[in-house]
Amino acid sequence: MLGEYCRERRFAQTLTLSDLATLLRANNVSKMVRKLDYFEREGPIDPALLSALVAVLKIDPVVVQNLMGEDEEESLHEWDKWASQWVRPHLITRLIPGVWMHVTIPDEVLSLSDAEAFAIRYAQEEQRLVCLVLSRRISIWVRSGTVVKRVEARPARGRTSQSSFALAVRKV
């Protein structure tokens, strides 16, 4: 939303991305054009660059804060939607550093405790690091037959944090 808003402001001022990069005093206009284009399409941006962009496009920082909050809310909603999709529980095991293999859990393994016992047995027999993937949120790591870590995935917060933007605005 913030990237789209900045693009609309740029269009309203009849500025091209190259014009904007020049106004931002970019040393490498081509590189800055790519950054700005990516921001307008995808959203993430460095807080210092965002502050400079807000100043050049004459955007109220309160509007920026509000749009960032909406972007964050939308991002969390999308992550939650993705994480809530069902996946068949399975193992991922490390063969050698950097090489991992998917292992299907047999259909007879029906319960959470059975899946964990299967992962522990597999890790012990194979003497490997194993990750039991129960869902897109929950995984259990097993090394040589011992549970070493239980992990609950959470979304990354703040592609551009509001506090970083606020600090960058004060520095300008």
The pLDDT tens digits along the chain (172 residues) read 899 999 999 999 999 999 999 999 999 999 999 999 999 998 789 999 999 999 999 999 999 999 999 999 998 999 999 999 999 999 999 999 999 999 999 999 989 999 999 999 999 999 999 999 999 999 999 998 899 999 999 987 654 444 444 434 433 3
pTM of the model: 0.67
How far apart are the C-alpha atoms of 75 and 67, rounded to whole Å?
Answer: 12
CB neighbour list of residue 68: distance below 8 Å, 6 or more residues apart? 2, 160, 162, 165
Given this model, what pLDDT does residue 158 score? Answer: 55
Given this model, what pLDDT does residue 169 score? Answer: 41
Going from N- to C-terminal start, the domains of the chain cover 2-83, 90-150
Task: Please give the CATH architecture assigned to the domain spanning 2-83.
Answer: Orthogonal Bundle (1.10)
Given this model, what pLDDT does residue 145 score? Answer: 87
